Amino acid sequence: MSNSINHHLNDAILMAYAVGTLPEAFNLIVASHLSMCDVCRAASESFDALGGEILDQSAAPDLSDDSLAATLALIDGGPVEQIRAPKTANAVLPQPLQDYVGGDLDAIKWKPVGMGVKQAILPTSREATARLLFIPAGAAMPDHGHQGTEMTMVLQGAFQDDDGYFARGDVEIADSDLHHTPVADIHEDCICLAVTDAPLRFDSFIPKIAQRFLRI
């Protein structure tokens, strides 16, 4: 799969993922990409190894006598582990996403946005939002900019904008410097996972009005 992926995660995001400073929504898109991309997975593992080496060389903190008992109590009182949805042959959603959705495409609870576009907002922490987007083949998303960071990973089909052509497994990382109009490839409906840590900045009046209701 990695041989066909042309747009990868950068080192800053992989490092933040390794040290655990990303919001849940961003962790989800990184984990989904890593499950499909050998290149980024190898880089991520190198950051994990580096972090482990740093910990090994660090002085051990002083622990109280009841530290072990307290840790075991927290584990016992934690949430019950959910049973993973079975892996689906030729699934569109990578395993990390299947765990959130409870299956593949047929398990997604789509809600119409307009012009044939549909979305499904996934349950994550409030620091950032994760949503699945269904964009009909050839359709264009509204022209918009960004007040924060938006990461978009293609799961099916492809889209194109000023930054290039993004197909299955590719990730586009957009910030306040990027203003674009993504257009789905004409050959297939496009399904993406998009995560944002701030509302988008639309130019047109109607998307601005709909923004508060659609949580984008």
CATH topology for the 1-216 domain: Jelly Rolls (2.60.120)
Question: To the nearest 10°, the Cα dihedral for 100, 165, 176, 15?
Answer: 60
Examine the pLDDT at 60 and tell me if it is beyond 70.
no
Q: Which residues contact 40 (CB under 8 A, 6 or more apart)?
A: 2, 8, 9, 14, 33, 34
Q: What is the mean pLDDT of the chain?
A: 83
Burial class of 90 by CB neighbour count within 10 A (0 to 12, 13 to 18, 19+): exposed
CA 106 to CA 94: how far, in whole Å?
Answer: 14
43: closest CA among 22, 6, 13? 13
Query: Tell me, what's the pLDDT at 174?
Result: 87
Beta strands in the chain (DSSP E): 111-114, 117-122, 129-135, 144-146, 150-156, 158-161, 164-167, 171-174, 183-184, 190-196, 200-202
pLDDT at 41: 95
Lowest mean pLDDT among 24-28, 37-41, 89-93, 169-173: 89-93
pLDDT score of 2 more than 50: no
At residue 178 the predicted structure's pLDDT band, cuts being 50, 70 and 90, is confident
- What's the rounded Cα separation, in Å, for the pair 20 and 16? 6
Q: Is the pLDDT of residue 28 over 60?
A: yes
Confidence band, pLDDT 50/70/90 cuts, at residue 215:
low
Average pLDDT over residues 191-207: 73
Confidence label for 175 from pLDDT (cuts 50, 70 and 90): confident
Domain boundaries, the chain: 1-216
Structure token digits, residue 181: 């109009």
Average pLDDT over residues 201-206: 54
Confidence of residue 37 (pLDDT cuts 50, 70, 90): very high
Q: Helix (H, G, I), strand (E, B), or coil: what is residue 5?
A: coil
Reported as a single tens digit per residue, the pLDDT across 74-119 is 777 655 555 454 555 579 999 999 999 999 999 999 999 888 999 9
Amino acid at the residue 115: M
* Residue given tokens 């934690």 in the structure block: 78
Structure confidence at residue 57 as a pLDDT band (50, 70, 90): low
Q: What is the pTM of this model?
A: 0.79
Indicate whether 1 pLDDT > 50: no
Distance CA 93, CA 142 (A): 25
